[in-house]
Chains A and B, each alone.
Chain A
């Protein structure tokens, strides 16, 4: 077993455990912390694949900015321990169906793939900052700009909502 593969399995296990803990934890802050663990483990996986830029951005944007906002809001609302509720009648059956479908889809994909599991470094466009930026600003410039526009609209909506409350 190469060191890369070992690190891959450690990080993958960390990500899965974090995701499980996110759902099973009773306290919102503990759930948020579990989500941070997932984000950082994913960043580690990206790093392992040689996508250094994506890994750094993953931690800065998701691990840093977004999750800090989550934690901040939980602290601000002083949310306590959640009450345990039984499974919703309406969400239960479709949810189970979805789980089975997703698991089946994943299993089928893994079964059909012929390549061996490897955690080798990527080279080329995906790994370098230059490659990613030229992809983002040349090949996918319209989707990128549309997304920016969507975010702008969301920001303006938030500002309008906050303003109305003041008046």
Chain B
């Protein structure tokens, strides 16, 4: 047994990592729906979910159970194989793309193995290309779902989405070329490390400043790729009922749902990694006091949760909320203790990356609460006539600057 463990250590570590990341991503997905509903509700002066659990925190669980136990009818005349394949494809590809993202520079030393945060090996040469390859295949989930449903609204939704994704994929790919030229590598870790070339510059060393044009193109194209507001034409409910997933119910619908939220997380991570320094701190390297920021956030958040929980109406909330608050406060205080400084140093990188991802997820939700949907011809004209030329211009400009003054 131990010999088997020793010879297949890499394999076992990877499988454990996959299971762990899957669990984390699916949980984050569930709570992302809660977060989105809550934020959009507050933007519209509503309460949002607040019945199931304290502050509606158990709503994702209730939703999940509902998805599992709903009747799952198969409409008449569907192409069975493709109809079942489409949600599987969408979910599998969305989840695969997360595995390319590195979440921290330093490995954890465990059982004599260096375990990196992130499933793909840190020296994956084609990091960003692999991600684009997976997103390129992601179109099929939507297009095939629309086609196989044997219904007019899904077909129109599927057609729209394939046209939209083909159009915006060009701009998406072109807009990152500037970053790749600066980094001289497709490797995501290299792209982050290039932004740390001048540790004293902190936030000023990030790619966002030379590549602001590229970032704007990238973010808009990425939102269009993930079919989110204001580019959610494939599922425009006022025109197409629910677009490509109209004929899907129960867990097959949930699979599309999870795929969409997972791609949101992937895109947010990509934005953070390529333009906002990934796991780098925005402060200059000499500001070591900035390392206490996780505690500064955790302790007040925990104390507020305790205070809020004591006043909560239900008994369940009176127990759960202060409990979570106590855990957060204790964790925050523990990070201040000198004996745990190595833990504090270790979590700096993941802390910053996750904070940046969270900010971009908030922007996604913010846009959903703010912007109206595009018209279809506007969408096409915007993609082809504005976004693509802009991103090509960015490539040419960046190339000239690098030729003249060199990268950095």
Give the B-binding residues of A (Cβ under 8 A).
Answer: 27, 29-30, 33, 36, 40, 43, 52-53, 55-57, 59-60, 63-65, 68-69, 71-72, 75-76, 78, 128-129
Beyond A52-B125, A75-B143, A75-B147, whether A59 also contacts B166 by CB under 8 A is no
State in angstroms the CA–CA spacing of A128 and B125 once bound together: 9
Least CB distance, B159 to chain A, in whole angstroms: 6
Beyond A64-B137, A129-B186, whether A57 also contacts B129 by CB under 8 A is yes
Sample (11) of A-B pairs whose CB atoms are under 8 Å apart: A29-B82, A29-B148, A52-B129, A53-B129, A60-B129, A63-B137, A64-B137, A64-B169, A72-B166, A75-B162, A129-B186
Residue in chain B with minimal CB distance to A74: B147
State in angstroms the CA–CA spacing of A64 and B135 once bound together: 8
Beyond A36-B140, A68-B139, A129-B186, whether A56 also contacts B130 by CB under 8 A is yes
| Inter-chain contact B162/A68, CB cutoff 8 Å | yes
| Inter-chain contact A59/B143, CB cutoff 8 Å | no
Q: By the criterion of a CB under 8 Å from any partner CB, how many residues of chain B are at the interface?
A: 30
| Inter-chain contact A63/B163, CB cutoff 8 Å | no
Given A56-B133, A75-B159, A78-B155; 19 other pairs, CB 8 A cutoff: A27-B79, A29-B79, A29-B147, A33-B82, A36-B137, A60-B136, A63-B136, A63-B137, A65-B169, A68-B143, A71-B143, A71-B144, A71-B162, A72-B159, A72-B163, A75-B146, A75-B155, A76-B159, A129-B126
B contact residues around A64 at 8 Å (CB) = 133, 136-137, 139, 169
Least CB distance, A133 to chain B, in whole angstroms: 12
Give the top 7 A-B pairs by smallest Cβ distance, nearest first. A64-B136, A56-B129, A59-B133, A52-B126, A72-B162, A56-B126, A56-B133
Residue in chain B with minimal CB distance to A128: B125
Which residues of chain B in 16-48 are interfacial with respect to chain A, using CB atoms and an 8 Å cutoff?
none
User: Which of B85, B143, B155: most chain A Cβ within 10 A?
Assistant: B143
Asked if B158 CB lies within 8 Å of chain A CBs, one says yes
Main secondary structure of the interface of A (DSSP, over half): helix
| Inter-chain contact A56/B166, CB cutoff 8 Å | no
B contact residues around A55 at 8 Å (CB) = 126
Residue in chain A with minimal CB distance to B138: A64
Residue in chain B with minimal CB distance to A43: B133
Beyond A56-B130, A60-B136, whether A65 also contacts B166 by CB under 8 A is yes
Give the A-binding residues of B (Cβ under 8 A).
Answer: 79, 81-82, 85, 125-126, 129-130, 132-134, 136-137, 139-140, 143-144, 146-148, 155, 158-159, 162-163, 165-166, 169, 173, 186
State in angstroms the CA–CA spacing of A36 and B82 once bound together: 13
State in angstroms the CA–CA spacing of A68 and B165 once bound together: 9
A contact residues around B139 at 8 Å (CB) = 64, 68
| Inter-chain contact B125/A129, CB cutoff 8 Å | yes
User: Which of A40, A69, A75: most chain B Cβ within 10 A?
Assistant: A75
| Inter-chain contact A59/B126, CB cutoff 8 Å | no
Least CB distance, A47 to chain B, in whole angstroms: 9
| Inter-chain contact A60/B133, CB cutoff 8 Å | yes
A contact residues around B129 at 8 Å (CB) = 52-53, 56-57, 60
State in angstroms the CA–CA spacing of A34 and B33 once bound together: 35
| Inter-chain contact B186/A68, CB cutoff 8 Å | no
State in angstroms the CA–CA spacing of A25 and B136 once bound together: 24
A contact residues around B162 at 8 Å (CB) = 68, 71-72, 75
State in angstroms the CA–CA spacing of A53 and B205 once bound together: 28
A contact residues around B79 at 8 Å (CB) = 27, 29
A contact residues around B134 at 8 Å (CB) = 59
| Inter-chain contact A75/B169, CB cutoff 8 Å | no
| Inter-chain contact A63/B133, CB cutoff 8 Å | yes
State in angstroms the CA–CA spacing of A40 and B93 once bound together: 13
Residue in contact with A56 in the complex, picked from B132, B148, B158, B165, CB distance below 8 Å = B132
Least CB distance, B387 to chain A, in whole angstroms: 17
A contact residues around B144 at 8 Å (CB) = 29, 33, 71
State in angstroms the CA–CA spacing of A30 and B148 once bound together: 11
B contact residues around A71 at 8 Å (CB) = 140, 143-144, 147, 162
Least CB distance, B266 to chain A, in whole angstroms: 16
Residue in chain A with minimal CB distance to B166: A68
Least CB distance, A89 to chain B, in whole angstroms: 33
Residue in chain A with minimal CB distance to B125: A52
Least CB distance, B137 to chain A, in whole angstroms: 6
Least CB distance, B30 to chain A, in whole angstroms: 29
Least CB distance, A70 to chain B, in whole angstroms: 11
Least CB distance, B132 to chain A, in whole angstroms: 6
Least CB distance, B246 to chain A, in whole angstroms: 16
User: Which of B129, B144, B169: most chain A Cβ within 10 A?
Assistant: B129
A contact residues around B130 at 8 Å (CB) = 56
| Inter-chain contact A68/B126, CB cutoff 8 Å | no
B contact residues around A53 at 8 Å (CB) = 125-126, 129
State in angstroms the CA–CA spacing of A102 and B85 once bound together: 35
B contact residues around A75 at 8 Å (CB) = 143, 146-147, 155, 158-159, 162
